[in-house]
Chains A and B, each alone.
Chain A
């Protein structure tokens, strides 16, 4: 019953190709109306996991459930609730945008022709209706791919790197579209990316996969707590300041530019005490500030420090 509340739920999803462990014990829980950012470097296992969620690859071990139903060859109704875009979207190159959408409309056994007009308008494909797919720019081909994923108003969208090839305006547009779907229409979105900074702008939850293993999972508002913060201090004599701080019990290190990095909650929460201490010794800081690790560094640090068991 527990898994019924989750739109995506996987149990120890594993895929081995011979000696290559593409995905290892991937366990995911995605709730309704959640935008789940699934992060990893190229080759980390994102696409393998997504293809297992969509029944395109059979897991070596483990099971995937969508809307509480097991993903497998017999469960066809399931796909009425799921829209997907896997890797670079391709369409029939000799057919126009509308013809490609009509094929998909028929394959999905849809009965409301209004859906076609809706999705064309929503993704601003109107002026390309009669353009052959092979003549579309990468960004518009991507829109056509997203249109195919959304045409039937699914409750769950599984998107593999949908921002690829889009220009900055297109990225913002897709981000707003997805936020609107999740926030106002209760659609759950599972979206993969290799750029944490991009995903963290609109995801509500983040999962990071590395070398086939899930190494981190958190709600977006708790992400800040996981990011490393430190106090950067610069004085006229950093050597002496280092001694003063060390003897006062702070842990200070030199940064590459010669300034000091002081870590620990005591320093980060009370920089004024450090400032006062240094001033009392005649070394008032030139610069003192709390630095928060940026998202990409956080992402890379997590990946570098993770030690997968296999």
Chain B
């Protein structure tokens, strides 16, 4: 949770530094980091927050999912969840529902921390921002990312631990970035690119998501869900 508060505060501070080049000039890393932030205004800041939740969504939600499923295997307590008067899919659904709401809460924490920091460093243009579309965009991006945890849950289960799913998340991150840079057209087909395409922050060059994009996305989420359930139900738990 601290990580998410930290993310929000850091964004606000970077914004502040970008407006005060005399601070940035003393630190080479900072000046590089802040150069991508654009102008010092709430409109630019909000665009940045959308980008943050898109990234934090994949990494952060993926990590909590990896941990929640993977620890049952690495702590070797999974055998206590198998011979119970409760169906195994109930346990998986319970885990996924908690993880979904947990993801939502974390994204709200990022948002609140970032807005408070933004106010503290006095980013101008508060009244010029159209808040409703921004918040809608932010929430939809969060939900789209929070549903994409099901394939991570499957990888954590089949890989019996949290190393494999975390590698999987990193791979997905790299792949998404490569698609956006190298093959923007292919992002249309890639389920993990859908939240970014939906948000519109990726830029004009990117395709608009179509019915097929949503279909592939939906199938990925469902495949993750049913794959996880089937694995728990039918694989050998040695």
Interface residues of A (CB under 8 A from B): 51, 54-58, 73, 76-77, 79-80, 82, 84, 86, 88, 90-93, 104, 107-109, 148
Contact = CB atoms under 8 A, between A and B. Distances in A.
Contacts of A91: 77
Contacts of B77: 90-92
14 contacts: A56-B237, A57-B237, A57-B238, A58-B234, A76-B87, A77-B85, A79-B85, A80-B85, A90-B75, A90-B76, A91-B77, A107-B84, A107-B91, A109-B86
Contacts of B88: 73
Nearest to B236: A57
Interface in B55-108: 75-77, 79-88, 91
Contacts of A82: 83
A79 B84 contact: yes
Contact of A58 (B75, B84, B236): B236
Q: On chain B, which size bracket covers the interface?
A: 10 to 19
B177 interface: no
Interface on chain A toward B: helix, strand, loop, or mixed SS? loop
B233 interface: yes
A269 to B, nearest CB: 50
Contacts of B76: 88, 90
Nearest to B86: A107
A54 B85 contact: no
A148 B83 CA distance: 12
A57 B235 CA distance: 7
Interface of B: 75-77, 79-88, 91, 233-234, 236-238
A76 B80 contact: no
The 5 closest A-B pairs by CB, nearest first: A90-B76, A56-B237, A57-B236, A54-B83, A79-B85
A108 B79 CA distance: 14
Contacts of A80: 85
Contacts of B236: 51, 56-58
A274 to B, nearest CB: 55
Contacts of A57: 236-238
A84 B83 contact: yes
Contacts of B87: 73, 76
A58 B84 CA distance: 16
A109 B82 contact: no
B79 A56 contact: yes
A9 to B, nearest CB: 17
A179 B111 CA distance: 60
Given A51-B237, A90-B75, A56 B83 contact: yes
A76 B82 contact: no
Contact of B233 (A73, A93, A109): A73
A92 B88 CA distance: 19
Given A56-B237, A76-B87, 9 more contacts: A51-B237, A54-B82, A73-B88, A73-B233, A82-B83, A92-B75, A92-B77, A107-B86, A108-B85
Nearest to A59: B236
Nearest to B81: A107
A92 B87 CA distance: 21
Given A54-B83, A79-B83, A93 B75 contact: yes
A88 B75 CA distance: 12
A58 B87 CA distance: 16
A88 B236 CA distance: 18
A279 to B, nearest CB: 63
B86 A56 contact: no
B79 A86 contact: yes
A164 to B, nearest CB: 14
A19 B237 CA distance: 19
B194 to A, nearest CB: 34
A148 B80 CA distance: 9
B85 A56 contact: no
A91 B91 CA distance: 17
A81 to B, nearest CB: 9
